[in-house]
Structure 1
Amino acid sequence: MLGLGISLGYLITNQIPFDPVKLSWSKIQILYIGVYYIALSIPFFFTGMVVAAAFSSLSERAGLIYGADLLGAGTGAISILYIMTVYGPDKSVFFISLIAFSAAFFAGGKRLKALSLILILFTASMMFFNPYFMNLKMSPYKGLQIALRYPGAEHLKTYFSPFSRVDTFKSPAVRYAPGLSLKYLEELPEQVGFSIDGSEMNAITAYSNRASLTFLRYLPSALPYEVFRRNDVLILDPKGGLQSITAKYYGSSNIYKIENNPLLVKVVRKDFDEFSGRIYSGNTWSGLGRSWLKYSDRDFDVIDIPMTGTVPSGSFGISEDYRFTVEAFKEYLSHLKMEGVLSINMFILPPLRTELRILNTAVRAIRDMGVKNRDIEKHFAAIRSLESICILMKKSPFTADDIEAIKKFSKDRRFDLIYYPGIKEDETNIYIRTPLNEYFTMFKNILNPETHEQFINSYIFDIKPVSDENPFFHYYLKLKNIRAIYKTMGGKWQYFIEEGYILPVVFIQVLLLGIVLMILPAVKTPKTRNKVKNKVKNKVEKKENLNLTSGINLLPYFAFLGLGFMFVEVSLVHKMILPLENPSYALATVLTSILISSGAGSLASYKFRKLSSPALTIFISILTISYSILLPSITDIISPCPLPIKAISVFFIFLPLGFLMGIPFPTGLKLLGEKNKPLIPWAWTINGCMSVLAPILTIMLALVTGFKIVLWLGALAYLMAFVFLKQFIKNQLYNAQR
């Protein structure tokens, strides 16, 4: 049933017409989220039944059962990276079903073996022939689907990795020249479009001859190459390589590229190497740019960060972005030459918020590096076109020659000046006029030390600087301004979906469903009551003393264990994204470490009973707080190492904590089984519900407080578990003495 449930859950969800884009006008989409829960819960329902039955019948061996369960989960957490690489996301689901069917084949009787063999052959044939209904459906509102609806559009190829999907295509919609000046009237060179996960759109530009690349001079992103020294250039996340081509066009001697998506580098090198002018052929690394910089001794004339592929998606606001924290900007500035410049280019997405947070975070960084408040404005300049903006940040103050060159560049291309040191308002908002000239006004307010704080606090969106502890750069929502923001966004809820406000909706739905599941075991039908009465009568006749409510006061213990375990686990996953440079690597490594070590701890508690001490949860709390304090120093030590070494180090770093976290749950089950076995499935249900709620709650709390505080809350949950366990044991001793 588990194998069938896995495949069935995927096939059902693939047919549900849920689309986050429609949430702003179609309320039925919220209902579809609930249908998702039901469909995706099918395999977990069967898994829960199997495990609960094992715990109920063998509670004295709970450590052995729980340990085996966690060891399997930990193995799966790391194995899925390989499975996803080989089969892609859709076929991976059916491959996992094959594993479940194989387990039934080897463990079952003759009839089950025969049925399992039939299902194995059927599933394998499905994977081989790959019928259309197996393919993962994509929202028709995603950029890829829109581009492919153009006449003459052609989908070229799909590539998969454990952390992204890349599609290449040709389409009349592909005209990638962000912010191109209206003065440029010639055709663009040939371009091949690509999308990342169907939404982040970009293009690979043909590098045939210099004459075809004249359009590069008419992009706002050409400003640092036109005005400043450009011998040594670093481009962070070049994607399709437009900025790499720009640097090459302007004759940069040394061009370094750090691309965070290794699949994209592989795709370009494999299928578009000559077409792109070998943009990823040399001086190219995969990873997070700031991590590479931290242990590099190179300084650069230009550090270029193109954000022109970034667009909001359904969970944009709750996605960490370590590229634009205060600590990241300090790293960038420290690797600029004295006259070097940091260039950030992005699409204009009104109302203003991304640009302002970039500016504000950069201001905090340069202030922390010792620049006085009155001098900060001397280090910034910005221009804009119809659709994009270029922000420059210089390590040393802009000179008069720099300013004149920026003004000339903008005037020649009909770009509007936003800011430079000493700018006057009548120099702005000339070519592409806005009613309130808000770009100039807001940049001026942020860079002016006298108006800075007041403007930040009064602005409708949250544009305060973000740090590594709370790296949600794209989360701009101020709760007190929800009504004003709703009005500003045209009375549409789409913005709130992008900000992650689908999380509270999901949390409420899961909470209600969890309450039902947790209360359900306490509801007794007349038939159940008669069974209980007969059972009590038989027990009394046998002179056995049975207290039907005995053990209920231990159930909160399992709730706090579920909360504590997931608060700690999810927070550690997110805190490892920066050192491991990729969410998928962080998830796989931390889960593997925590689950395998927890499984080992559970097995050890079965063999060595002295480990099952109530005081262990106190030690887990202390250890969790210690990790929250020491992790920054530990990650600094391992960050210079190659990725495999870092992953192995992270695996071993969390083994002690994981080992201890695997002991309290089977300890509680054993105690509960000795007192009242029928309560074990209830305890399993409560723990499972809390384990589902906790990850959602972790992100909601981290948006406000940061992950360190969530780790402390996890430690508090373990302390509360200790309180309930201690009270239960105390009551048991008291009852035994009566």
Structure 2
Amino acid sequence: MLEVALTRVLSVMSWHHFAYLIISLAFLGFGAASTFLSVSPRFSSPTLDEGLVGKYALAFCLTTLFGFAATTKVHFYPMDAYYYGDYSNAFSLLMLYVIMGTPFFFAGVCIGYLISRAGEAINRVYFSDLVGAGIGTMASLVGINHLGVEATIYVASTAGGLVALIFSLAEGRFRLRLGSAAALVLSVLMTVLAVRHEIFPTYFPPEKIFREALRPHYYRWHIIARIDVMDPVSLSMPFGGALSKAYEGGPMPTVRVIWQDGSAPTGIMYVPNGDLRRVPALGYYLQAAPYAVKPNPSRALTIGLGGGIDALIALYHGAEHVVGVDVNPVTVDAVKNRYADFAGRVLNRPNVELVVAEGRHFLTTTDQRFDVIQLSGVDTYSALSTGAYALAENYLYTVEAMESYWEHLADGGILSFSRWLFTPPRETLRLVVIQLEHLRRMGIEHPESHLMIVSGGMPDGVWAETLLKKSPFTQAEVAAFRRWADYMKFDMIYDPYEMRPNVFNEVIRASRSEREAIIKRYPYNIKPVTDDNPFFFQFYRWRSLVSPLESGGGYFIERLPLSLAVLLVSLVQILLLSIAFIIGPLLPRGGQLRAVRHKTRVLTYFGSLGLGFIIVEITLLQKYAVFVGGPIYSMAITLFAILVFSGLGSLMSQRFKDSPDRWLKFIIIGLVGAVACEVVFINYAIPRLMFLSHAMRCGVTIAALAPLALLMGMPFPMGLRVTQRVGETIIPWAWGVNAVTTTLGSVLCVLVSMQWGFTVSLVAAGAVYLLGLAVFSPVVRAMYKEA
């Protein structure tokens, strides 16, 4: 729960790239705790000391409670270091590490100590640990959405205070009882207060100047993003497009800007008395491009509704029925209810349907066909709550997504995207490459006749609108579109009937082999992305870290290879902190380890378990996202199922405690087989099960994950039982190595998935498990042969 909440906090205080570093801190905190348990003399007694559990639970409670207050006071400017070469705030980053990492250390001490003293009950304790993690994941979703992130953090603190009080009552010392009771009461009080009002407001960095420039009228936390709605202002901000220069001198629309995590703006437009004719700017937006070809459409769909401007544009241009889809229920509520009067209740009309859903998921639940499908600037600036990725994966821009949109276009329907153009082009250019790959798969002989692209300028860059038509554009349609673009003072980039000297014409009119050659030599990565490798926004190649490319246009954060930089920073951070806090403290005891037989095999085994488990968990979390309805549902269902059933697997493994030499190899081989079955099921069965209702999909997901997760929970406790026979000295090292590889795996999974796709990640995880089995099997045989 705490880990998820802090990820949300860092997403606001910095950028989503940096928020993922919290996952490393959590794992390293637990790893450092296992080392501390092994070197601290106070934990040397073989019997459980309830007072020690109470003390460290109390420490977790207090560091969580006061750590959040301290976090909001540390001003960290992440962009200064990379963008300006200013490393003066490195101390602030170190402070954040210490403040945020300390509660995980104390929690790790409590859990590790209880497991180490569990004896024959180790399976039940490990089961409780995993099930508790699953429940915490679900609780974090509910807590952040309904209580807010600050109150959720205090709920985690309250849990620590409750544990401290329970163990202090068993221990019997009055001071510990009093301190635990006081901490518990304080945590509950802070939780209640934080539900109604921010006690310690979250800090926004200077580079998020947009949010700080305006006064917030309303805010609300959600697991997807924090939403800040501002007081009304008159401005020309295009919100995923551009306002025509032909409109210069016209009245600027009045808008309530909505910021998501302090950036990624959208807006609710003021419509006096619900009369769209009194907002003439709606006729001059770049996002109106499809209506120049398809006026008065019967049905229009906007994915990424935001503040509803795309829906207003559709209605302004005569759409008879409009469907607006947005993944964030807070945004939809703001448009439909809280600020409905401000928007003239236009989006409350009977011919407007607002849906809370992930865009791809919505399309699998409807058989409607649309004349226009519009996506304007829909992206993933907000950190995914899983903390799993340092890159923004987006399933709205894959080849499979284009196929889904295509199926829901009416005859002659138009699919319209608004994305940054950049100099040199990359976002819009990659989008075009993806659409060309989709058309190739559909068997379209002349894809060049299905596309048109137009661009519009902004003070800080250029947006482009890409139109993909289900049937070829006619000469009359192209002529009408050119006239519209000329009148609006937009620039035509591509149309089927005129050759223009730019990379878009070169790519679109090229043969398949010629296009592949262009993609290969292009300075940016513009290869088409698929659901197996959905990193649309990862344009940079590794060499760009040492030789940055010149770039213009767009939001400045997109001009930097930040995602790659964060991956490298994460790797270096994990290695250094692991040496300092996990391996380092154990080195003085290295002499004891030298005498232990099979130490290399034991440590390799536990390292393999940590690496394999985290890769499988993260990969399946992503692979089921579209099927169950988006990353939030995937977290609530997939992650919960993996953790709970792994806990049950740990409990079931107690049946094999006396004969792991007989069963362990079959369990791991079965686990690898289950991974292979998941690969086949995800890639071949799931696409054919999209017709199922949401409830049935969730049931199918749980049923598909259960066998694998049960097996994933068995090797660790069974390995610990074997290791106890090898020698108690090596057990802390086994815990430490497992923590290090689990942390490394969260980054390595990204690297493998980014380069080769999620399927390869799962195959790699299976190979890691087999490696662990091959290395550890001789140890198991030796220990039980001797017995």
Secondary structure of 2:279's partner? helix
Corresponding residue number in structure 1 for 2:493: 418
Q: 1:628 to 1:175 in 2, by over 3 A?
A: same
Mapped to 2, the partners of 1:611 and 1:707 lie a distance apart of 35
Residue type matched to 1:47 in 2? Answer: A
Corresponding residue number in structure 1 for 2:317: 250
Corresponding residue number in structure 2 for 1:524: 588
Secondary structure of 2:452's partner? strand
Residue type matched to 1:261 in 2? Answer: N
Residue type matched to 1:268 in 2? Answer: V
Structure 1 residue 174: Cα displacement? 4.5
The answer to whether the Cα contact below 8 Å between 2:233 and 2:255 also exists between their aligned partners in 1 is no
Matched, 1:664 2:715: yes
The answer to whether the Cα contact below 8 Å between 1:611 and 1:663 also exists between their aligned partners in 2 is no
> Which of residues 377, 387, 393 is equivalent to 2:448?
377
The answer to whether the Cα contact below 8 Å between 1:56 and 1:677 also exists between their aligned partners in 2 is no
Report the more deviating stretch, 208-217 or 408-417.
208-217
TM-score in terms of structure 1 length: 0.88
TM-score in terms of structure 2 length: 0.83
Structure 1 residue 365: Cα displacement? 0.5
Secondary structure of 2:414's partner? strand
Q: Deviations over 1:387-406 (max 9, x none)?
A: 32211111111111101101
Corresponding residue number in structure 1 for 2:358: 288
Matched, 1:477 2:540: yes
Structure 1 residue 488: Cα displacement? 4.9
5 Å-filtered alignment, 1:225-264, equals 225-229=291-295, 230-264=297-331
Aligned residue pair count: 697
Secondary structure of 1:346's partner? strand
Corresponding residue number in structure 1 for 2:482: 407
The answer to whether the Cα contact below 8 Å between 2:373 and 2:414 also exists between their aligned partners in 1 is yes
The answer to whether the Cα contact below 8 Å between 2:624 and 2:634 also exists between their aligned partners in 1 is yes
Mapped to 2, the partners of 1:84 and 1:194 lie a distance apart of 19
Corresponding residue number in structure 1 for 2:146: 86
Matched, 1:398 2:473: yes
Mapped to 2, the partners of 1:688 and 1:334 lie a distance apart of 46
Corresponding residue number in structure 2 for 1:464: 527
Secondary structure of 1:233's partner? strand
The percentage of counterpart residues that share the same residue type is 25
The answer to whether the Cα contact below 8 Å between 1:235 and 1:258 also exists between their aligned partners in 2 is yes
Mapped to 2, the partners of 1:287 and 1:635 lie a distance apart of 19
Residue type matched to 1:385 in 2? Answer: G
Residue type matched to 2:440 in 1? Answer: R
Corresponding residue number in structure 2 for 1:685: 736
Corresponding residue number in structure 1 for 2:206: 140
Q: Deviations over 1:355-405 (max 9, x none)?
A: 100111011101110112xx1111111111213221111111111110110
Corresponding residue number in structure 2 for 1:121: 185
Query: Post-superposition, which runs of at least 4 consecutive aligned residues in structure 1 deviate over 6 A?
Result: 308-317
The answer to whether the Cα contact below 8 Å between 1:569 and 1:591 also exists between their aligned partners in 2 is yes
Structure 1 residue 50: Cα displacement? 2.5
Mapped to 2, the partners of 1:113 and 1:206 lie a distance apart of 57
Q: Deviations over 1:259-314 (max 9, x none)?
A: 22222112212211232234266422222223322343222211111117877999
> Which of residues 295, 308, 321 is equivalent to 2:394?
321
Q: Deviations over 1:80-102 (max 9, x none)?
A: 21111222111211111101111
Report the more deviating stretch, 359-368 or 27-36.
27-36
Secondary structure of 1:98's partner? helix
Mapped to 2, the partners of 1:313 and 1:559 lie a distance apart of 28
Mapped to 2, the partners of 1:144 and 1:611 lie a distance apart of 63
The answer to whether the Cα contact below 8 Å between 1:158 and 1:165 also exists between their aligned partners in 2 is yes
5 Å-filtered alignment, 1:425-464, equals 425=500, 440-450=501-511, 451-464=514-527
Corresponding residue number in structure 1 for 2:265: 201
Secondary structure of 1:164's partner? coil
Secondary structure of 2:245's partner? coil
Residue type matched to 2:366 in 1? Answer: S
Secondary structure of 1:279's partner? helix
Structure 1 residue 134: Cα displacement? 2.7
Mapped to 2, the partners of 1:283 and 1:493 lie a distance apart of 34
Corresponding residue number in structure 2 for 1:305: 375
Mapped to 1, the partners of 2:734 and 2:282 lie a distance apart of 64
Mapped to 1, the partners of 2:579 and 2:672 lie a distance apart of 27
Matched, 1:46 2:121: no
> Which of residues 643, 664, 667 is equivalent to 1:614?
664
Structure 1 residue 477: Cα displacement? 1.0
Corresponding residue number in structure 2 for 1:17: 75
Corresponding residue number in structure 2 for 1:503: 567
The answer to whether the Cα contact below 8 Å between 1:175 and 1:191 also exists between their aligned partners in 2 is no
Residue type matched to 2:542 in 1? Answer: L
Rg larger for: 1
Structure 1 residue 493: Cα displacement? 9.4
Q: Which runs of 5+ in 1 are unaligned?
A: 149-153, 426-439, 533-545
Q: 1:488 to 1:205 in 2, by over 3 A?
A: closer
Residue type matched to 2:77 in 1? Answer: D
Q: Which runs of 5+ in 2 are unaligned?
A: 1-58
Matched, 1:274 2:341: yes
Mapped to 1, the partners of 2:744 and 2:128 lie a distance apart of 24
> Which of residues 220, 237, 241 is equivalent to 1:176?
237
What's the Cα RMSD here? Answer: 2.8
Mapped to 2, the partners of 1:223 and 1:396 lie a distance apart of 17
Structure 1 residue 518: Cα displacement? 4.3
Structure 1 residue 71: Cα displacement? 1.5
The answer to whether the Cα contact below 8 Å between 1:593 and 1:655 also exists between their aligned partners in 2 is yes
> Which of residues 204, 218, 225 is equivalent to 1:157?
218
Residue type matched to 1:470 in 2? Answer: N
Corresponding residue number in structure 1 for 2:6: none
